[in-house]
Every structure is written in structure tokens, then in C-alpha cells.
Structure 1
Amino acid sequence: MSAGRDGSARSDEEWERFLRESVAGAADAPKEPSARARDVAKRLRAEPGRGPEGWRSYTPARPRRRTGWYVAGLLAALVLVVVALAPERTVDLFAGGDPDAAPSAAETARPTQAPPAEAARRPTVDEPFRGSPAARWASGAAGITVPEAGAVGWMSAAEVERALARSRDFLVMSNLDRGVLRGEHPAKAVELINPHQEDVQDLLGTAFRTPSEKNDPLLLFSRFQPSRTRLIGDVVKTRGRLTYREGERGALQVTADVTFVYPVARAGSDDEIVRTIVRRELVLSWDDPDKVITEPGTFSIVSYAYDMTNGGCGAPTGYLTPPFGTDGRADEANTEIDPYDRSAPVGRSGSAGDGCAKATRS
């Protein structure tokens, strides 16, 4: 038995094992690098830009170079070049093929000038408003701006709001309803007209049976004859607004000024697409039933006027008759109007019967 430096006793076997391991070297003891390894390490330290590395040090792999940003930058530069060289094609790409797809702001007052000229491009079945200011307009009832309601005359603000909504409903029923556009009788629209207004009831009583210059359904309704004309798609573009004020005997007087654009083709053919454009101005009176004979929920028509292009000329037929090819072109008057110019009042009186105007663009 032997004693250690700290006085602890160790067995002879433990002492012999200690001496053997000291001579042979423990398995996990660090070893002296060979002469060859020392020579390699010396050369590596001598190379420029390389610092000394530990014998068992770990150098992590360098991250891969990020080339995505460079590719994205290159693509962005190419897009800018295309925009500069061919802006029209670029808008086509991002607007689903229609460069006029950016919507116009709602009309809240009469504009001061006509919309700018568009690039001359023919309409197609898929893009019937192509090359027209109407491509930027809203569709259907959404294009008719209704103002905020306030109390007027005998009506409260809530009643004015309902009357404005019903006034817009009349425009929809008489100019946008698919059945009416296909020539059906506008029964729902007629129900909103005061049945005690004799002159209007006389017009309605004869216009659909025997249309004439004086009694023509087109004075109030937009209609096409299905055997001759086919509507393209389900969209009619609209632009316009309602305004109101106090009228006679405290009545609510609503004025509607709306342009409707109808893309059509000859029945059974898509060879030629024509845009029939009708701008209507109606003044409606929601009368106080204590002062005027009327029925609840109906209005009287104070006046009506409209401008129409590409809707046909000649003797009234009760239908809009767009000219296809050379049909009806010889009947067009020399008077020209821009059907998209809403800066001037409606020029054609509904009862004047002064012929047709020629569109400067459609």
C-alpha cells in the first residue's frame, strides 16, 4: 500500500496502472502533431489572406450567394423599358386586355368638358366598350349617382331618400331591364307613374300599339327588336346623376341626367358591333297627396328629353334600330354630336321630333 501526496492511501494495483498509463499515454490524451502536419500548417499560415487555424477548429460553410434580388431587379428594369416603349400594351397586360379598365370617378356635378379622345380601336364581343370612354364607366345602376338626402317640402329626409331610390329604380326598369331591352312591355316602370297624369297615360296607351312621332315608347324607354338586334353581353355602361330641389306646391322635384351605352350586333351575327348611345333627362315630381291627385309611391313626369345616336332614323317603329353596314346611314342628319359629352344640356326635346344626330364617335 502506498500513500499519495495528500496522504491518501492507494493500493499497489492502482499505482502500477498509473505508471503504465503514464508511459503508454492515455487514449484521449492530446498527441504531438507529426512533422508533416506541422509543415502543412506552417505553409497555410504563410498564404496571404489566411489566418492561422486551430488544429481542431471548425469553419462553417459560406452561405450561398442570394441571386434572387438580382433577378428581380433585372425583371423590374425590363418592365420599365416595356412601359416606356409600349405603354398601351402594358396597360392591356395589367388590365385584362382592356386599357380603358381604370374606372372613372362617380359623376356628382355636370362636367365642364367632354372626356378625352380614346385610341381608335374596334369593339369586340369580349370587349364591346373597347376604344370608348364608356369602358371606364360603371355598369348598370352603379353608374347613376344618388345624392345624400335631406328634408324637402312635405317630405322628411327619410322620405326623400326613398323617393330618390325609386327614381333610380324607374331609370333601371325603363332603360336597363333585360326584358324591356328585348322589347317587352315595361310594366313595372309604368306602375311608378302617377295614373292620374292624363297626358302621359295617353302616350303610354298608344305608344306600344301604334308608335308615332308624338307617341313613341322611345321617349321614355330603351327597346330593341330581338328579330333584328342582339345585345352583346350582359353589361350596359352608364354615367349620370340625380339631383333634387323643392318644386311646385312643396313637391320633391328630382332631375335625372343619365347616358346609357348599349353594345349591339345584328341578330344572328357578330361581324359588326355597334354602340347605341342614349342620353336621357327626366324631371319627376313627387307630389304632396294633399295638394295634387296622385297615388302613394308614384310620381308625375314634368318633362323628358333625350339625345340618341346609332339608334336609327326615319319613321318611328317603337324600337331602337342601330345601323349595321350601310343600313340607315343615308337617313342620318348633318347635325353631329359627341354622345359622350355631358358638359352641355340634352339637346333634343322628347316631343319635338326633329330627326336624328350623327355621332362624332361611338
Structure 2
Amino acid sequence: MSAGTEPDGSSRSDEEWERFLRESVAGAPAAPKEPSARAREVAKRLSAEPARNPEGWRSYTPARPKRRTGWYAAGLFASLGLLAVVALAPGRVVDLFAGAGSPPSAAETARPTQAPPAGAAQRPTREEPFRGSPAAGWASGAEGITVPKAEAVGWMGAAEVERALARSRDFLLAAGTDRGVLRGEHPEKAIGMINPHQKDVQDLLKTAFHAPTEKNDPLLLFSRFQPSRTHLVGDTVKVRGRLDYQEGERGALQVTADVTFVYPVTRSGAGGDDEIVRTIVRRELVLSWDDPAKVITEPGTFSIVSYKYDVTNGGCGAPTGYFAPPFGTDRRADGAGTEIDPYDRSAPVGQGGPSEGRCGKATRS
């Protein structure tokens, strides 16, 4: 007996009808299910939030940094404050970062009006041979000599004047700071810059080194120490001075030099003796760069118009061709010799004390 009929009038078997009833009660596997109360709540919350763009699988979103407005503002104000200090007092900034020590002295562009102030009395050491001296803040080598801006003078154009000024400075350094010359070697380089046709100076140079006298002494132009007696401390010679120029005779370029050299020395073979003496030499020279059409000269050389110097702690005996710094019991008694402040550059050489190598007692060294 058939269990039912299809719309077209065909009948179902009993097995099909039984399966239909069974699925109707249990529910078909693909039939949709009603969502639970929790699912409805989640769906409602998600639908209320704004849509989000999906993140690509190769994309990266960096974390947003935290704001530190207070620290940034403090750093900005500190930087502005440091810039103000640099602008107003650059020497003090050097002290701030370099620690203890004398601040560097500004370049000398004109004759000073007074001597540098006295600092705390401190003994020099091998590590700090300029300690307790104004020279501690001086430059060394070429940086210690101020060279003015070059302009055309006489027979020379500006470029030629610039070369002549540089070569004049080179002569001073070769005569006063060359390590070989300081150890007593012959100053070949410096002599090669002097006009070989200048007879009076050439005569001086021929006799000064092997038979020095008061008038023909190599110390008139060159700084020299006898290695068997004196040892230079360190590799630095402190230098302070300047060059000036003007038109000289017959249209020549006349260069005037005023330079002080400070040499820390100790006794050779002293062993444990740590006594350090500073020999201080101030030189004034006038050099003439002559027009070769008017004066017999050689290219790149100058004639020496005048030379004079002051020296303290350089020895007071008969000329030997070397500075002879006094050590220990050789130091002169108090009150002996003309007193001179070797760091006072406010007066020309010879007006503030002895000149041309005559003995002077340093008020400080």
C-alpha cells in the first residue's frame, strides 16, 4: 500500500516516506539554525563599530611613540643656553669641556696695552711644562703668529705680499722652533731665506757659529741650546706675536715681526732632578722684500734691516752661541740683573728691560 503520492500523482515507497518523517523530526544537516542569544549580542556590537581595513600580510604598522614634550623642551632650552655661552665667552667653553687648565689666548692683532694678568703660582712639571705661566694659553708654531690680510704694496701685488708674509713667518719658525736648530744644528733652512748678497749679515753668519762674540752671536737671530747641558722638555714651543707690513725704501715690502718664544728646559742627564726652567726669548725683526729691479737679491729671499731681542733665563756669561739656562745654585741672587716681565709685550723690545741678550732677571717665568 502506498504511503503517499507526489504532485504528479506518482507514489512514494514506504522506505522513502519513513526517511522523510525521520529527517523532519531531527532536522536536515544543511538546514539553517537559529543563532543563540550570545551570538546575536556579538553581531549587534560588531555592526555598531566602524569598518576596519584589513591588514596586508606583508604590511607593518610601527608602534606610535610616546610623547615626551617636557624633555624635548628642556633639551631645546639647554642647547640655546649653550649657544649663548659660546657666542659671549668661547674661551670659557673650552675650559668647560677640557677641564682644568688655562683658556686659550685670543690671537694678537696689535700691541697689547698691558702685561697679561698673573695667575696662581704653580711649578711646571714634565707633563705640564707651561703650568703656572701665561704661555699655557698660548698657541704653538705657526698658529701663534698673527699674519695680517695681504694688500698690494710697492712693487708687489696682493698675492705676492701674501707669499712674502708667509715666508717671513716661516723664517721665524725655522729660526725659533725647528727641533734641530734648538739642539744646536746649523740653521740651513732659515739661512737660505736671507738675501745672500747682503754682506753685513753674511759676514755675521760666517763667524757666529764657530767663533761667537757679542757682536757676532748666532743667538741674535736663532734660538739654540747645547745638548750636553740642556734638554728641551716635550715637543712644544709656545709662540705669541704678530707680523705687520708697510712700504719701505725703493718701493720694497717691509715686514716687521714681534714674536715671543717660550722654551721649557731641564738639565741634561739630571736623572731624578725635576727642576724645569723656562727660557723666554722675544724678538723684533724688520725684513725687507726688495724689488729685484732696484736691489741685488735672489728670488724668495729678503734682507734683514734690523734685529734685537730680550731673553730671560738664557744665561749671562760670555757668548758661547747657545742659551745657557741657570739651574740650582747657578741661579742669580735676588736683586741681581735688571728686572723684566718676559710676558709683557706692551712696550718695544729694550724699553721694558735689557735688549740684545744683556742679562735680565725675570719677575715670573
Q: TM-score range by the shorter chain?
A: 0.7 to 0.9
The one-character-per-residue Cα deviations of 1:29-63 (angstroms, maximum 9, x if unpaired) are 77xxxxxxxxxxxxxxxxxxxxxxxxxxxxxxxxx
Which secondary structure state, in structure 1, belongs to the residue aligned with residue 189 of structure 2?
helix
- Is 1:123 paired with 2:103? no
Which whole-Å CA distance do the structure 2 matches of 1:298 and 1:265 have between them? 36
- 2:257 maps to 256
Q: 1:282 to 1:333 in 2, by over 3 A?
A: farther
Q: What TM-score, normalized to structure 2?
A: 0.73
Describe how 1:159-198 pairs up with structure 2 within 5 A. Answer: 159-198=160-199
- 1:147 maps to 148
Which secondary structure state, in structure 2, belongs to the residue aligned with residue 192 of structure 1?
coil
- Is 1:99 paired with 2:101? yes
Which whole-Å CA distance do the structure 1 matches of 2:206 and 2:32 have between them? 128
Which secondary structure state, in structure 2, belongs to the residue aligned with residue 326 of structure 1?
helix
- Is 1:296 paired with 2:299? yes
- Is 1:344 paired with 2:336? no
The amino acid of 2:113's aligned partner reads: T
Which whole-Å CA distance do the structure 1 matches of 2:349 and 2:355 have between them? 13
Q: For residue 97 of structure 1, report the CA deviation from its aligned partner.
A: 5.4
CA RMSD of aligned residues (A): 3.2
Structure 1 gaps of 5+ residues are: 1-10, 31-63, 77-89
The one-character-per-residue Cα deviations of 1:73-92 (angstroms, maximum 9, x if unpaired) are xxx9xxxxxxxxxxxxx999
1:305–1:348 contact (8 Å) kept in structure 2: no
Which whole-Å CA distance do the structure 1 matches of 2:292 and 2:335 have between them? 45
Count of residues in correspondence between the two structures = 297
- 2:19 maps to none
Which whole-Å CA distance do the structure 1 matches of 2:93 and 2:129 have between them? 17
- 1:329 maps to 332
Q: 1:152 to 1:93 in 2, by over 3 A?
A: closer
- Is 1:281 paired with 2:277? no
- 2:203 maps to 202
1:151–1:160 contact (8 Å) kept in structure 2: yes
Give the greater-gyration-radius structure (CA).
Answer: 2
Which secondary structure state, in structure 1, belongs to the residue aligned with residue 159 of structure 2?
helix
Which whole-Å CA distance do the structure 2 matches of 1:176 and 1:146 have between them? 17
- Percent identity between matched residues is 75
Q: 1:348 to 1:110 in 2, by over 3 A?
A: closer
Q: What TM-score, normalized to structure 1?
A: 0.74
1:280–1:305 contact (8 Å) kept in structure 2: yes
Q: Which runs of 4+ in 1 moved over 3 A?
A: 25-30, 90-98, 330-333, 351-354
Which secondary structure state, in structure 1, belongs to the residue aligned with residue 329 of structure 2?
coil
Q: For residue 203 of structure 1, report the CA deviation from its aligned partner.
A: 0.8
Q: 1:299 to 1:216 in 2, by over 3 A?
A: same
1:313–1:332 contact (8 Å) kept in structure 2: no
Q: 1:91 to 1:245 in 2, by over 3 A?
A: closer
Which secondary structure state, in structure 1, belongs to the residue aligned with residue 161 of structure 2?
helix
Which whole-Å CA distance do the structure 1 matches of 2:99 and 2:117 have between them? 20
Which whole-Å CA distance do the structure 1 matches of 2:265 and 2:93 have between them? 26
